[in-house]
Chains A and B, each alone.
Chain A
């Protein structure tokens, strides 16, 4: 029973992390926008799901204050979470409209991430401030506990399959090639008639929808969400999955998610606990994560399973058009 429960938790984390990492990989790996505010779209999805499924904030003695409280059915709330992620992702993308240097833009996004956490924590009426929201309903709560858990795993799996189907529209084929061209040389891409700014905003919206869905699914499972869950270092965790796995490669980043987000960050909880400092194993997880990111940037920037470069058949030299 204990192990089964733990397996369910890991599967749900794997699924939600996969969706988030796919979205970030579309933005950063495929299209070249280093969105250091990515966790904000995940948070947007989580909060949107929460306030759509929760009842009015006067419930339970009004112990938490929030906007909304629409008591909507969960499929609508999941869509709302995705939509919130897409909108917030696009807004964050606007900071890059001036076509700033990529690292400069990344730093601006990092500041955006820090700022939005500060604002949401300070405003207690929006999403219950720094305490965060609790008692967010699980859509399968009426079923018996075991069925409830596995139903949620099935829901996450279905969302991942739909997500993968959508993702492949953007990372492969003509759109994928256009985005990769923009990443590698955006001047050349513009010269070839591609509207780079518009493409980036589209990518931010699609990537944001993935993040939003991930946050919504996660919060439906764990039932609570607060600013401490989306500090800017969480973006580093997703980025680390992308870099370790293989930037731009859907297979690679999926493997990276399994290793970094699930095996590493969940695995450190099995380290022997020291009673005097209970958070130590978690701190240790973050140190390893940061170290792994740097080691990969240094020794193997292409990641474990690198992006496959497209190969085109060579034209024969006798080809008159060649």
Chain B
């Protein structure tokens, strides 16, 4: 029983990282309608940007926002230079997914070519552990949980309390209508790629902080829990993705504690398959998101 409670704490920390990634992925899909698989490779990129900084003596907590900014800007450029023009040329959605897989592969092998294929590590973070409510968490995990909560609250306020947030939600639910109301959808799109890229970058460094060692496959493998969380929450729904991240994180850590840790991702995978077969729109999917996901 103690083991299970402890693993819940770990699960919240894992879920925070998954949630960060899933929210970014979901926001991006909501606005751009593109399922961006390059997201995984971009997470790997930020982990390696973080590594570069940490190897020069920068603290991991400064590397994290820098990684977020770098990947945020790369995302905006990526969309402007490749994805948006392809969409304008009338490229079908499935070809867009293949494009993002191909771009992710290029980025991944550029990273391998520069940084080498061997495993890397950020080294030991400050070893202090904190105990409360029977949970044991490292300082790093606590910081990541708090950081995620703050970022999510910030995103919530942005989406609900500002004109920009309103414009983003309008663009997400009906792009054409939003444009005819005078919203600059291309600006909204840039900002959403910046935000989702920044969340992706933050998640990449956070993931590297919480794992013992990583290599170029870091972001690719993270696609399993992240896409499961995004789809469970209802893809395109930021709040759903937050909750989805938490559910996937906690259930996989608890499962790992009671069985074989190698099979941690199988829970995420089972959730993904069940949601796809039973309720493809996810927990929070609305009628319009269902129409978006089904054929026709």
**CB atoms of A108 and B276 under 8 A apart:** yes
Q: Which residues of B contact A233 (CB under 8 A)?
A: 105, 108
> Which of B138-146, B192-200, B265-273 is the interface stretch?
B265-273
A130 → chain B closest CB, angstroms: 10
User: Which of chain A's residues 72-107 have a Cβ closer than 8 Å to chain B?
Assistant: 94-95, 97-104, 106-107
Q: Which residues of A contact B277 (CB under 8 A)?
A: 94-95, 97-98
Does A317 have its Cβ within 8 Å of any Cβ on chain B? Answer: no
Partner of A286, one of B85, B99, B106, B272: B106
Q: Which residue of A lies closest to B104 (CB)?
A: A290
Does A141 have its Cβ within 8 Å of any Cβ on chain B? Answer: no
Does B154 have its Cβ within 8 Å of any Cβ on chain A? Answer: no
- The CA-CA distance from A94 to B103 in the complex, in Å, is 28
Partner of A101, one of B37, B82, B227, B294: B294
User: Would A110 and B102 be within 8 Å (CB), given that A122-B262, A294-B82, A298-B89 are in contact?
Assistant: no
Does B220 have its Cβ within 8 Å of any Cβ on chain A? Answer: yes
- The CA-CA distance from A98 to B273 in the complex, in Å, is 11
Q: Which residue of A lies closest to B273 (CB)?
A: A95
> Which of B3-11, B49-57, B109-117, B166-174 is the interface stretch?
B109-117
Does B224 have its Cβ within 8 Å of any Cβ on chain A? Answer: yes
User: Would A103 and B35 be within 8 Å (CB), given that A95-B276, A115-B265, A297-B99 are in contact?
Assistant: yes
**CB atoms of B276 and A103 under 8 A apart:** no
- The CA-CA distance from A111 to B105 in the complex, in Å, is 15
Partner of A187, one of B92, B103, B235, B296: B296
Q: Which residues of B contact A97 (CB under 8 A)?
A: 277
Does A40 have its Cβ within 8 Å of any Cβ on chain B? Answer: no
Does A243 have its Cβ within 8 Å of any Cβ on chain B? Answer: yes
Does B93 have its Cβ within 8 Å of any Cβ on chain A? Answer: yes
A39 → chain B closest CB, angstroms: 12
- The CA-CA distance from A283 to B115 in the complex, in Å, is 12
Q: Which residues of B contact A186 (CB under 8 A)?
A: 295-296
Does B292 have its Cβ within 8 Å of any Cβ on chain A? Answer: yes
- The CA-CA distance from A286 to B269 in the complex, in Å, is 27
The list of the 4 closest CB pairs from A to B, nearest first, reads A122-B262, A103-B93, A290-B106, A290-B102
* CB pairs A–B below 8 angstroms (11 shown): A98-B277, A101-B292, A101-B295, A102-B92, A110-B223, A111-B223, A114-B223, A283-B110, A290-B109, A298-B85, A298-B86
- Interface residues, chain A, with chain B CB atoms under 8 Å away: 32, 34, 36, 94-95, 97-104, 106-108, 110-112, 114-115, 118-119, 122-123, 186-187, 232-233, 236, 239-240, 243, 277, 279-280, 283-284, 286-287, 289-291, 293-294, 297-298, 301
- Interface residues, chain B, with chain A CB atoms under 8 Å away: 35, 37, 82, 85-86, 89, 91-99, 101-103, 105-106, 108-110, 112-113, 116-117, 220-221, 223-224, 227-228, 231, 235, 260, 262-263, 265-266, 269, 272-273, 276-277, 280, 292-296
New contact pairs (7) apart from A104-B235, A106-B35, A283-B112, CB-CB < 8 Å: A102-B93, A106-B94, A111-B223, A186-B296, A290-B102, A290-B105, A297-B91
